[in-house]
Homo-oligomer: A and B are copies of this chain.
Amino acid sequence: MSNSRRFVSKLFQNFGRVEPEGSSQTCQSQILMQYNDIVESCHSGCYVMLPFGQRALDKLVRVVDEEMQAIGGQKISLPTLAPAKLWKKSERWDDALNELFTLKDRHNVQYCLGPTHEELVTNLMAMYSPISEKRLPIKFYQITRKFRDEMKPKHLLLRGREFEMKDMYSFDASESEARETYDIVCESYSRLFSRLELPFAKVEGATGNIGGSISHEFHLMSSVGEDKLLFCEKCSFRSNSELVKDQSTVCPTCDADCQLRTSPGIEIGHTFLLGTKYSSVFKSTCMKSDRGIDLTHMGCYGIGVSRLLQGSVEVLSSENKIRWPRLIAPYQICILPHKGIKAAAEQYLATSLTLSDALNVMPNLKHEVVIDDRQQISLGKRLFDAKRLGYPYIIVVGKRIQENPPIFEIIETSTNESHFLSIDSLKDFLSTVETI
Contact = CB atoms under 8 A, between A and B. Distances in A.
Contacts of A79: 42-43, 46-48, 162
Interface string A47-67: 111110011011000000000
Contact of A43 (B12, B15, B42, B83): B83
A46 B81 contact: yes
Nearest to A109: B44
A143 to B, nearest CB: 10
A10 interface: yes
Contact of A70 (B3, B15, B55, B103): B3
A124 interface: yes
Given A47-B79, A51-B75, 4 more contacts: A54-B75, A57-B77, A69-B367, A103-B103
Contact of A162 (B40, B57, B81, B123): B81
Contacts of A135: 9-10
A393 B56 CA distance: 34
The count of identical subunits is 2
Interface stretch (A144-152, A177-185, A187-195, A241-249): A144-152
29 contacts: A3-B70, A9-B134, A10-B72, A10-B135, A12-B74, A40-B124, A40-B127, A42-B79, A44-B109, A46-B79, A46-B81, A48-B76, A48-B79, A48-B120, A49-B76, A51-B74, A51-B140, A54-B76, A54-B77, A79-B162, A80-B145, A80-B147, A80-B162, A81-B162, A101-B105, A102-B103, A103-B113, A105-B149, A113-B113
B40 A81 contact: no
Interface string A30-50: 000000000010111011111
Interface residues of A, number: 59
Nearest to A134: B9
Contacts of A120: 42, 48
A307 interface: no
A429 interface: no
Nearest to A151: B106
A161 interface: yes
A132 to B, nearest CB: 10
B74 A11 contact: yes
Interface of A: 3, 9-12, 15, 40, 42-44, 46-51, 54-55, 57-58, 69-70, 72, 74-81, 83, 98, 101-103, 105-107, 109, 113, 120, 123-124, 127-128, 134-135, 138, 140, 144-145, 147, 149, 151, 161-162, 363, 367
A305 to B, nearest CB: 12
A423 B120 CA distance: 45
Nearest to A37: B128
Contacts of A49: 76-77
A20 to B, nearest CB: 12
The 6 closest A-B pairs by CB, nearest first: A46-B79, A103-B103, A51-B74, A49-B77, A54-B75, A106-B149
Contacts of A77: 48-49, 54, 57
Nearest to A4: B70
A120 B127 CA distance: 39
B11 A81 contact: no
Contacts of A367: 69
A103 B101 contact: yes
Contacts of A46: 79, 81
Contact of A48 (B98, B109, B124, B134): B124
B106 A98 contact: yes
A75 B58 contact: yes
